[in-house]
Structure 1
């Protein structure tokens, strides 16, 4: 094993399928085996920030990007593109496979949450595979399980938000004044504060202004 000792600052974007465990447990196996991999492929292709993939964990894609922090508008557009891709995929099942849609998806059994975080990582090479290490990597993973009751939302950690100096941009793209406050406490890590907003409240980002900013890339850096 070769380790890269230097810490690097990294932006994390982790889209995660809400309701995944129940869906797998209660859905026809053939249908779930088709739906979940196809949905994950769509979300991977929706990589407008040209992020790298640290790992894929069944229902979550661990995107990250080192170097300069992406602009708030670009982060908002990435989140919007992910949600639109998710929504369009579910709608396509409704149109093309209405029977299974009614049985397994009509009651919004699946949702999408997106964790946005910023912190330090160490990169290890383990037999040719890249592994991300560090406290902030653990925090991003831990936040996939939280107390937020909604099915579709964006979670922005306080550590990420502390890097954003322009509150006008946060207000424009993430309704800063309306962001709800939350906090999780983890053993050895302490309290992790965050703000969140439901993705339904982000629908205004689907307008032509944002659509013109990016076209989803089919390549993952």
Structure 2
């Protein structure tokens, strides 16, 4: 397929590696799939699943994109539903000693990126994404943001929406501008905001 403009959304479970190391396989094999399914079922704006990447889900949407307000609300919903599911899982598996690690270790971060040249191709029954913008989205997961749980909006995404007062979309905290240098990609500028206040009210 020819490259097309595409929204990329990657909800990523933070603490995944530590959780897998701290808990036995019986518990982790129940908890992680349940959380990933919860994220998929919390999708209310028609994002499509390209693939599940261990501790993350690669969503995409091409053609007409949601408004920035709708997109931010969706990400907040992903996060709050994720935390509700953590509480459900801790209670459900309370008889297991390692259940205490469920809310202490696991969290969620979400990367939003807009790519002007994202290729889509069918492999089996799945639609796979490819192209430099997919690389950018995944690189943005590796950053020096001093938080474990946050929403990150790439420069490409904020440029696409051209909001005059971007910070007004985020009533629960301070939206910060930041940049990170990446090999081959150079400096990428983005905005981020911590998610934690959404579950501390």
Q: With the length of structure 2 as denominator, give the TM-score of the two structures.
A: 0.89
Question: Residue 17 of structure 1: which of 13, 20, 44 is its match?
Answer: 13
Question: Judging changes above 3 Å, is the alpha-carbon distance between structure 1 residues 31 and 127 closer, same or farther for their aligned structure 2 residues?
Answer: closer
2:145 aligned with 1:148: yes
The answer for the alignment partner of 2:134 in structure 1 is: 137
Q: CA deviation at 1:98?
A: 2.9
The answer for the alignment partner of 2:74 in structure 1 is: 78
- CA–CA distance in structure 1, aligned partners of residues 124 and 68 of structure 2: 36
1:83-102 matches, within 5 Å, as 83-100=79-96
1:32-47 matches, within 5 Å, as 32-47=28-43
Q: CA deviation at 1:150?
A: 1.3
Q: CA deviation at 1:192?
A: 1.3
Deviations 1:184-206 (A, max 9, x none): 222222211111000124569x9
Question: Judging changes above 3 Å, is the alpha-carbon distance between structure 1 residues 159 and 88 closer, same or farther for their aligned structure 2 residues?
Answer: same
The answer for the alignment partner of 2:51 in structure 1 is: 55
- CA–CA distance in structure 2, aligned partners of residues 71 and 43 of structure 1: 20
- CA–CA distance in structure 1, aligned partners of residues 49 and 171 of structure 2: 28
2:194 aligned with 1:179: no
- Where structure 1 has 5 or more consecutive residues not aligned to the other structure, the ranges are 207-221
- CA–CA distance in structure 2, aligned partners of residues 135 and 87 of structure 1: 32
Root mean square deviation, CA, Å: 2.2
Contact 1:167–1:176, Cα closer than 8 Å, also in 2: no
Q: Number of matched residues?
A: 199
The answer for the alignment partner of 1:216 in structure 2 is: none
Give the ranges of 4+ consecutive aligned residues of structure 1 lying more than 6 Å apart after TM superposition. Answer: none
